[in-house]
Amino acid sequence: MRQVMDQSEESRTVVVSGVPEILSSSRMADKLVIHFQRSRSNGGDVVRIQYPTNCKGVAFVTFEDIEDAERVLKKEQIMQDREFPEKYALTVFKFSDDVFFFVRAEVDLSLFSDHDKLIQDLRAVHRSVRISLLPSKGRVTVEGPFRAVRELREDLLRQAQRGRDWHVGSRTDDQSADVSKGSLKDINGDDQESSIWLDTNTLKYIQKFYGIDYDRCLSKYFVDAGLEEVGDLTLITLKGKGRSSSLRSAKSELEHLVLTRQSALRFQGIDYRSSDEHQKKKLLHLCRDLNAVYDDILLIPLDSCIEVIGPSMSSHLFCKRVEDRRVLLEGHSPPNRGAAYLTS
């Protein structure tokens, strides 16, 4: 259960993710205290530890002094012990209420050629997101506060748009989004081609609610659009015949449509990681019922949450209605209910 902290405690608390589940909870809590009190960890006196928490593999460590909490953030934390089969890298970041909506997702990096360098850069910039390699080539898991994971996805989109050392890989399964500038090139004879990178969910929203405008951008200039999803991004390839100015105009109008529409969108999430399959189905059914009332909302079910995309006021009211109904259905206030949804 979430424990209330005053402002002083929050400033002295760090979040630790990647805690291995190889010992009992009480033993692992003791190991964490020992680790963060060691001088080689840049630690200090620990006055409280919360482990386990509602977030799998996550602990909250509160130090006696704020300086100790700030100091451990500057040190790479590698946890080792004679009882451990190996060393474990921990991800440590400052405590905030964002952590109470902790999400996990898979991200496709096949778009980029130098995965090792990219992951190193992402870890340096997005300190509160834990990034782990998957056996599948070019795929990683990311876990952390919803807002931080969203910012990492947006960072990847910007890098793709800048054309930074990338190539298009084969399609794999699996926001405030800007559009890329792309390039215009001749294909065969009078054929022309240009491309735009978009956040996949932003494109889905535009196609559902502004499909007429989207189609008009293409048909007006006799341009066809091919779509290829690459993880969280979608490559739109525009193809046309004749004058290159027509293709440029179609691309310009499509960019304008995306920029103006997405600026009003907000991305939120409703957490259901702690629910069993039956509860997940009930929650999804509840969301779909309310979607008939808030009909400018797009729902995208994921493994750990339901993403809610729509105008700011609608998405906020929708999530609030869901949480109110959820409490009534369960007959009590669920853990971490105050942070069951979070604006991104």
**Digitized pLDDT (tens) for each residue of the chain, 344 residues in all:** 345 577 789 999 999 999 999 999 999 999 999 999 999 999 999 999 999 887 788 999 999 999 999 999 999 999 999 999 999 999 999 998 777 767 777 787 877 878 888 999 999 899 899 998 887 777 888 888 877 887 888 888 788 777 643 333 333 333 333 444 444 444 344 567 888 888 888 899 999 999 999 999 999 999 999 998 876 778 899 998 767 788 889 989 998 898 888 878 888 878 776 667 888 888 999 999 999 999 999 999 987 788 899 998 998 899 989 988 887 876 644 444 333 343 34
Q: What is the pLDDT of residue 267?
A: 81
Give residue 201's pLDDT: 85
pLDDT at 197: 81
DSSP 98: G
**pTM of the model as a whole:** 0.54
Nearest to 101 by CA among 311, 308, 277, 263: 308
pLDDT reported for residue 272: 78
The confidence score (pLDDT) of residue 179 equals 42
Q: Give pLDDT, residue 277.
A: 84
Tokens of 207: 């196609």
Euclidean distance between the first and the last CA atom of the chain, given in angstroms as a whole number: 24
Report the pLDDT value the prediction gives residue 165, as an integer from 0 to 100: 39
> How high is the pLDDT of residue 334?
44
- What does the pLDDT read at residue 331? 61
Taking the C-alpha atoms of residue 8 and residue 211, their distance in angstroms, rounded to an integer, is 50
User: What pLDDT is stored for residue 147 in this prediction?
Assistant: 79
Tokens of 316: 């906020």
Token match 């797009």: residue? 298
Q: What structural domains and CATH numbers belong to the chain?
A: 7-95 (3.30.70.330), 100-162 (3.30.1370.10), 184-262 (3.30.1370.10), 265-339 (3.30.70.270)
Instruction: Tell me phi and psi for residue 129, to 5 degrees.
Output: -110, 125
Give pLDDT, residue 4: 55
Contact present, 225 and 182 (Cβ < 8 Å): no
CA gap 104, 215 in Å, rounded: 35
